[in-house]
Each structure stands twice: as C-alpha cells, then as structure tokens.
Amino acid sequence: MTHQEVEEKKLLLRHVQGALAEAEEERFVDHYTYCRSCYEQVHHYISENNLIEEYLFGRLPAGEQVFFEKHYLGCETCFKELKRNEKFLTALQGAVRESAAELESAAPPSPAVPPVAEAGGAPEPSRRPEQAKILRFFGSYPALAAAAMLAVILLAIPAWRGMFKVPELERQLRQPSADVQSLLLQESRERARGPEEAPGITISGETGWALLQCAIIEQSIDQPRYRAEILDHSGEAVWQSEAVLSAGAAGVLNILCRGSFFSPGQYFLKVYELNAALQPTGKAFDFPFRVSVAK
C-alpha cells in the first residue's frame, strides 16, 4: 500500500471512523504500523479530536470507539495517557462529590413556608440548585452559587486557614457583589504549550477572585504537603503561598487568589511536593492556564 493510495481513498479517516472493509482495514493497519508518517497522523487525529477524553465519557461514535480500543491496547503512549486522564477524571469527580456532600450538610435548613390560607392563594415556592459547569467536557454537577459555595468551603477545609485572614475573606465572599471564577487545571509535562491550548479563566480585575483547582495524581511519598506559586509567561512569580498546603481526600488542591494579581496572559501554577520535614522532595507539577480580565 502506498501513501498515494492512502490519500486518494482517504483510508486514514475511514480507518478511524471504522468504515473500512475487513480486508482493506488489515492492509492499512499493516501499512501504518511500519509507516512513521501515517502513524503520526493517527496520533494527530486522536489529539486534535480529543478522542481520549471523549472515550472516557462514552461519547465516541461506535466506529471511532472500536478503532480507539484497538489502538490504545497496542500503543503504549496512548495507553499511558488514557490511564493518566482516567485518574485525573476520577479525582475531580470525587472532589465534586465531596464538595457537594459538604455543602449539603452545612447548608442551613430552609425556613418553613406558612400554609396558604385559601385554595386560590399563591403556590408554595420551590427551590432548585443551580448547575455549575465544571469543564467543557466534565458535564454538570449540582452545586450552590459560587460565592456561597466558597464561603462554606473556606470554613470546611482547615488547610486554607493559614493562607488567608479567613474572617475578612469570608465577609468579602459573602457579599452579593463577590465575583469568584473557578477553573480546573490539568498537569502539563510540556512547559512550552501554546496559550491557546491551556484552559482559560476570565476574572474581574481588582474586584474578582480566581479559584484554581488541580488534581495531584502522582506522589513520590505518603501524605505529602505542598507549596505553590504562580508564574507569568516569563517565569516571574506573581503569587506565592504563605503556608503549607494539603490536598483533599481526592488529591485536589484548591488555591484562591485575588484578580488584582493578574494581567491578561498565560500563567503557570507550579506546585512543589514537600516531605514530613517540609523540605522539597524534588518533585514538582506544572499547571498552565490563561487569564482574561473583564472590562
């Protein structure tokens, strides 16, 4: 099989979509297994179309699902990336469930509604939880409004008490005008990722807050602690944690920063692992993200 035949018959796309006849499929697989160019094109398609994430969420069409299952079982690179994303997703979903449970148990009971005097009176009011988007591919989970949610979390997580003047911060976040934007980050092993590839957040300058959440998947020691800093694209630190941080039960680290720390651009949240003596273990994590400032 030649490259000309692959291009003319669009075999690569048909292979990925599971649309090749059995004999043609076997010929193409034999070809791209030993052809670096075609093999790289297959991986480019997987990356560009987020096949790993779509597969984990069960959103791949039947043909692409069959292709990907055959591919990743024989591809060490895709297999490792799949498992890494699977751990990341599990950690984030666990954190969401924990936060929802904490908020539900901490929420005060709703005031009793007085009975309606007449049959034609006003109906009893109903309450519905708001839906907060976690990520574009993480679906929706029930949660309270962002400001109320963060006020409760600050009370519930002891590790945050050393980072901020909690009473004053709680007072600010309880204000109706509090503007808190949250962003879930994923570790990048490639420091030089393009700004368009990193997740983005829009904050309200001097009055806004940014809640950055990241899952620590790989740990070199048991029960590590962390220090964190935020670097701009040139590598200059714009924020540093004042206290030692601990990840939650699901391995998720929460960091809250004022919007005034940021100007529009690309940043890296860098997390350093510490041992029991609070000394660096040499392991660190990079979480890239982009910031836009609302006018």
One domain for residues 212 and 101: yes
Residue 113 falls inside a structural domain: no
Classify strands 237-240 and 200-203 as parallel, antiparallel or unpaired: unpaired
One domain for residues 45 and 134: no
Biggest CA pair distance of the chain: 83
Residue 19 falls inside a structural domain: yes
The whole-angstrom distance between residue 93's C-alpha and the CA centroid of its chain comes to 10
Q: Tokens standing for 206? A: 């001097």
Nearest to 248 by CA among 86, 91, 85, 89: 91
One domain for residues 156 and 223: yes
One domain for residues 283 and 159: yes
One domain for residues 145 and 226: yes
One domain for residues 188 and 52: no
Confidence at residue 250, expressed as pLDDT on a 0 to 100 scale? 61
Residue 36 falls inside a structural domain: yes
One domain for residues 166 and 22: no
Per-residue pLDDT of the chain (295 residues; tens, 9 = 90+): 666 666 656 666 676 666 667 777 777 666 666 667 777 777 777 877 778 877 777 777 877 787 777 777 667 777 777 777 777 666 666 665 665 555 555 555 544 444 444 444 444 433 333 333 333 333 433 343 444 454 444 444 443 333 433 444 444 444 444 567 878 887 765 444 454 567 888 887 666 788 888 888 777 888 888 889 999 988 888 888 877 777 765 677 888 878 777 888 899 999 999 988 888 899 998 889 998 887 6
One domain for residues 31 and 91: no
The H-or-E segment that residue 97 falls in is: helix 76-106
Residue 116 falls inside a structural domain: no
One domain for residues 68 and 96: no
One domain for residues 43 and 156: no
Residue 120 falls inside a structural domain: no
Residue 191 falls inside a structural domain: yes
In terms of residue numbers, what domain contains 207?
A: 84-106+129-293
CATH of the domain at 214: 2.60.40.3350
Confidence at residue 248, expressed as pLDDT on a 0 to 100 scale? 66
C-alpha dist (Å) from residue 69 to 12, 55, 82: 16, 9, 11
One domain for residues 208 and 262: yes
One domain for residues 98 and 237: yes
Instruction: Give CA–CA dist 285/295, Å, rounded.
Output: 32
Domain count of the fold of the chain = 2
Residue 58 falls inside a structural domain: yes
Residue 204 falls inside a structural domain: yes
Nearest to 295 by CA among 208, 196, 176, 173: 208
The H-or-E segment that residue 166 falls in is: helix 166-174
